[in-house]
Chain A
């Protein structure tokens, strides 16, 4: 066995391996450190040149040295040899260097196996339709390479590519069956490395000036929502994220301790909806204010934020019901109220003074709130590019720069309220969304990230106040693109105002959403639903295993039938002649393949004279049918064969 595996690789199999390596490695150049890409490129060119000029490959020691050097460089770059990105970098380096060691068929098989592995690693970074298609092409070529290695030089390029396509085509039903029926395990199986979900954008747990305006420059989708009924009015679409109660003068943070359970008084019928949340590596689920029914495996915090039990590392679906009109904690605990009145001492004296003045002038908290909103709407500008703020940020903002994004308005508003003796806090989340007319999903992007305020009023509980709405009513009514002036650094996608482009974008996003929902989002829940539609309710892994075994056996049987189906092409005369030979064999006369009909007849005349007469007729008719140009009629031959069959030794 080993002697076979060690067979030398033929010269023209090598370009196939180069192609396979390049196809599987190239897309990774996007995520890798530049030096690694350059290194791989150099190794590729070196290997190709060695092949082209038919030179000896470098020795084992040199390769070992290069591998050690590469590992060291990767360690210096990533400071670890474990983890997702490091693993990918190592695989890419090994793949490139393996091309310098293509001596036997076994080396080639290693390259192909590495190629299959590398295909998988692309999905760490993207699972879009485009990636799927690209990898399908790569898979086709890599498999063709494997075929070429074993077919040797007798395998033509066309034939090899065709064979690979046939194999993949026949494997597709297996893939489908496995995809639908393989018992799905909700990952992860163990702790993922630190960098498993690096680089996710989304809300963060704290808010400092600039956080949200940075986020708002991204057109990435944060989540999609499909409402059971009609879309609620846009100015009610507040998706609640973390609530920030602690302020140190610059950064807002959530309260770290435990808050008692919220008490909700629902005043309108609940609205059902399903959100598909992109993995943001945080726990909050961004429910519509205020959630009345939560999905399983989630809890409602004391500040009304719906949280999952674990961080969401992947796109996931959640079903909620929310009520738009509600009262929240009409009777609030004193510690909570006290907490929401605290301000860092000695900071922002002018703001505090203004608020105290309001407090003494105005009678009711409502009047103070109105006063503050009036101030904002009179002289403030809503912009993505606010000036930088110093030590007393709120003072500077309120009295000097007067330009800001939602985080500035909400922070300033909450500070004013607290100073005026009204319990208040900052709520972050998303506001609004863009309905895609193609599939009816509401798309909420990072650019919809928002911060607003919440004040506690006696008899009314916590009430939402959105100071941004006072500054820029358009932000709440139409979204950020309409609210900002021309020239603001918004993502190009959002600035599109042409109708046909917008339609195109909607189509494309609907296709992507369908892909996400139907293909990528096929999880245990969907699997169970699909099986119950087929009459297997409450399928556990045993049912699935049985269904899987049955389905794949049927498929294997079908493909076996294809493999066994074979009808040698013989002309009808030859077929009749073979029938005659079978009849002869039954009478103990065997015709070896080299004996011509006439020779057979001569032999039968000598050995079994009584059989000669019927056989002579058959031979005669066969030769006629075979070689006489005029006679196309097989009736005579058929007749003669039938007579031979019926002939009895009397």
Chain B
């Protein structure tokens, strides 16, 4: 087994750095007969014997024509992959347990379409691609994210049986792509809001109803708090945001320490992830505190992403 693995390593050595577009040259495309190719070959031999036995001149011709079609079919299968350019695309973060989609950009600069290409990052999860002549296809290669952290795209197998299915041409791609996997969220009730440190003495019953004035909009502000009417009055100035009385509602503090110390790390991270999602859904301000990192209170998409990232990359 070690020998085979070694041989594989040597045969399929990857030379690109993985970030640049890769063009499939003839050294990168491998080809071998497929199952139905063997069936076809057996059929041809039987037909040839029949043609010889019954002295069928046209039978010979038919067998030879079919053999020629098989051979040219092999070249066509090879050509279906040869010259294809593959570049890495985007990859959106996912939660553990979900399927990550690595986008690969396949571009066909030939005047004939390339049909029935199949890509898979792990056995059994093939995805099919057809690229019309001179066009680009964005293919999302699925890969199940099992663990939080960085999911690195393993070697992707790209293959095709087109046109005749008698031969299978394949190539290995290893674009340098990784996908951030957040911990799988575990839903649980949010902790009690603690009064914010800054405005602890101001009454907490005010909540969002207690209008306190305007301030200029900042990128992290929720669009729900923009004072659209007030902003519309004076279009030269940046948007205004309504301020409510007090850190009043208080800030959610999602703290590692709130859990029972007996809980395993991963469970704690999952619970925290669930809280972050719940807090974000409520639109309230929240802070995240992990051993070794401390994210101050805030809200919005970027804040959420920062928190989830910190949770995803928390050292094991």
Mark A residues whose CB is within 8 Å of B. 1-5, 84, 105-106, 109, 113, 116-117, 119-120, 123-124, 127, 131-132, 135, 139, 143, 146-147, 149-152, 154-155, 159, 163, 167-168, 170-175, 178-179, 182, 185-190, 192, 196, 313-314, 519-522, 552, 556, 559-560, 562-564, 566, 568-569, 592-593
Contact = CB atoms under 8 A, between A and B. Distances in A.
Contact of B64 (A135, A178, A196, A564): A178
Interface of B: 19-21, 26, 34-36, 39-40, 43, 46-47, 49-69, 71-73, 75-76, 78-79, 82-83, 87, 109-110, 113, 115-116, 118, 124, 126, 128, 130, 161-165
B164 A150 contact: yes
A174 B67 contact: yes
Most A CB within 10 A of own CB, among B49, B79, B82, B118: B79
Contact of A171 (B20, B56, B69): B69
A117 B69 CA distance: 15
Given A120-B47, A187-B54, A4 B69 contact: no
B109 A569 contact: yes
A135 B54 CA distance: 18
Contacts of A3: 124
11 contacts: A120-B56, A124-B54, A132-B61, A139-B65, A150-B163, A172-B68, A187-B52, A559-B71, A592-B19, A593-B20, A593-B21
B160 to A, nearest CB: 9
Contacts of B34: 1
A178 to B, nearest CB: 4
A313 B71 contact: no
A116 B47 contact: yes
A1 to B, nearest CB: 6
Contacts of A131: 58
Contacts of B36: 5, 106, 109, 113
Contacts of A190: 53
B68 A566 contact: no
Contacts of A560: 75
Given A120-B47, A120-B59, A159-B113, A170 B72 contact: yes
B115 A152 contact: yes
A178 B54 contact: no
Main secondary structure of the interface of A (DSSP, over half): helix
Contacts of B60: 179, 182
Contacts of A2: 35
A260 to B, nearest CB: 35
A175 B83 contact: no
B161 A120 contact: no
Contact of B55 (A146, A151, A187): A187
Contacts of B68: 170-175, 178
Given A139-B62, A519-B57, 17 more contacts: A120-B56, A120-B63, A123-B51, A124-B54, A127-B57, A139-B65, A147-B164, A149-B165, A150-B161, A159-B113, A167-B72, A167-B73, A175-B68, A178-B64, A563-B82, A593-B20, A593-B21
Given A113-B40, A135-B62, A172-B65, A155 B115 contact: yes
B53 A175 contact: no
A524 to B, nearest CB: 11
Nearest to B123: A3
A592 B20 contact: yes
B103 to A, nearest CB: 14
A594 to B, nearest CB: 9
A178 B163 CA distance: 23
A521 to B, nearest CB: 7
A292 B27 CA distance: 66
A2 B36 CA distance: 11
A175 B76 CA distance: 17
Contacts of B69: 143, 167-168, 171
Contact of B53 (A1, A4, A150, A192): A192
Most B CB within 10 A of own CB, among A2, A167, A552: A167
A365 B64 CA distance: 63
Nearest to B34: A1
Contacts of B49: 189
Contacts of B126: 4
A472 B255 CA distance: 124
A566 B78 CA distance: 14
Nearest to B168: A1
A53 to B, nearest CB: 28
B130 A154 contact: yes
Contact of B67 (A143, A178, A186, A196): A178
B56 A563 contact: no
A567 B61 CA distance: 36
Given A154-B116, A171-B65, A175-B65, A109 B39 contact: yes
Contacts of A149: 165
A566 B35 CA distance: 30
Given A178-B64, A593-B21, A152 B35 contact: no
